[in-house]
Amino acid sequence: MTPAADNPPDANLSWTAEEHRRAGREVMDWIATYLTTLREAPVFQPVPSEAAAAMLASAVPEQGESIHAILERFEREIGPYPFGNGHPRFAAWVNSPPAPIGIYAQALASAMNPSVAGGNHAAVWVERQVIEWLKSIFGFPHESMGLLVSGSSAAAISGLAAARHAAATRIGWDMRRNGAHIVNEHGSPVRMLVYESAEAHSCHQKAVELLGLGSANMRIVPSDGALRMRADALDAMLAEDIAAGALPVAVIASAGTVNTGAIDPLDAIADVCARHGVWMHVDGGYGAPAILTSEYRMELAAIARADSLGVDAHKWMYVPVDAGMVLIRSATSMRDTFSLVPPYLRSDDDQHGVHGPPWLSEYGSEQTRPFRALKVWMALRYFGTSGYARLIAHDIAMARYLADRVRATPELELREPQGLSIVCFRAVPAALDADDAAIDALNQRVLASLQLGGRAFLSGTVLHGRSWLRACIVNPGTMPEDADAMLDAVLDAVMHEVRSYL
């Protein structure tokens, strides 16, 4: 039944200008207070168990509330318990604080609320402009293509899907029609393989499983002492597998692992991939933006040789989540992998009409797509590449400062080489005469105490079977005094554990 025009709903989408301004002022007051008082707040505090239980037990609202009441509820029930990544002493996972320009960009994008599947509207052209800028930064050719995606996990799926399609096409197999169970001309199954080091991010295994390749077909390439993929070992493995009749789909190289910041020898890996005709996917989710710094420009320059690249602007470009990117060298392969549109949406060249250029949804798995590009566009315009270079160099310098402090502290052991803005270290107190297992247990207890203590927040990792503390600094607000405070908190937790042990 159609509601009567003189009986509108109590809540509606048509606010007056004054209602918008009133709500906006309340929201902005909270944001301003939150962002400018983080340093004085605990780095992290978990949601109390009774509060979490109350949230889960709460019934769906039947009657609406005022915006003021909702914001008060937010301040009381949600605001006090952030993830912690905006705090200058949060140095756990690769989660940066949001650049303020990105916060406002996200609000503007939400107000416009376009679907960026395609068409001839501003959001489409902003995304295409951002893609062109990213090609320039990472050295991809103009004829390549890319998309803004949710993050490196989605970028891995996109890049490896295109790699799978390209590999199958080379041997005359229609992947989209026949699926991933390839057989050769003799009717025998062909094994499709993906290569990575043990330090590669787990999102790639997820992608391989989702794409039907199977994790049993992932080949782990040995690493050197710095936990970088060995190109010579990769070369030998590819030669052996190809001789055995397998079909290598892709090699995944890391432009900065999230475990230690190690950068695989990208140029040597690209040589190996070129020699064997294998797709090279570079995971630059964390480390790739360091190409903007003078220190890492040459080491990361071989990213330009990749067939696909994943990068997260919501990591080391400080853009609010979510803002991932995938670049693929062959725009044709990308479109052939994903394009499936009805006739009323197909557009090859209508740049002056309603349909616009080829739809972005033809280059990825999403049809309705959010306006992710605006916050990247505004951040790049605000900082410029030179501004980003300074911010990233600052984070690297702070990590080196922390590493120097660790190196000079007898109770601590630094894991070397230290890479990018990641510092791995562990407590090895002389007062505790213990074996490796006991040292591991000590560091695990120190980490738990540290994370719940509110003074600093690090993460833990395992390297060569041993437990380590791990600090990752991707916050330009982190200063030497914050690194000192992190270390003081660690040492206090270590001393507490040693006294308890003795």
Model confidence over 100-117: pLDDT tens digits? 999 999 999 999 999 999
Establish if 101 belongs to a structural domain.
Answer: no
Mark 182-211 as b/e (b = at least 16 C-beta within 10 Å).
beeeeeeebbbbbbbbebbbebbbebbeeb
Does position 92 have pLDDT exceeding 70, yes or no? yes
Which of 310-324, 342-356, 379-393, 485-499 bottoms out in mean pLDDT, i.e. has the lowest?
342-356
162 and 200 part of one domain: yes
Establish if 146 belongs to a structural domain.
Answer: yes
Of 39, 65, 82, the domain-final residue? 82
- pLDDT value of position 2: 47
Q: Measured on CA atoms in the order 118, 122, 125, 131, is the torsion positive or negative?
A: negative
- pLDDT value of position 345: 61
Per-residue confidence band for 283, with pLDDT thresholds at 50, 70 and 90: very high
Number of domains in the chain: 3
Q: Residues 6 or more apart from 286 whose CB is under 8 A from it?
A: 94, 256, 257, 258, 261, 312, 315, 316, 420, 474
158 and 252 part of one domain: yes
354 and 395 part of one domain: no
Q: Residues 6 or more apart from 460 whose CB is under 8 A from it?
A: 443, 444, 447, 467, 468, 469, 470
78 and 178 part of one domain: no
Of 370, 397, 414, the domain-final residue? 370
Residue 180's closest CA among 197, 170, 165? 165
- Residue-range definition of the domain harbouring residue 461: 383-501
Does position 4 have pLDDT exceeding 50, yes or no? no
Half-sphere exposure of 73 (CA within 13 A, CB side): 8
What is d(CA 356, CA 371) in angstroms, rounded to the nearest whole number? 17
Which pTM does this prediction carry?
0.93
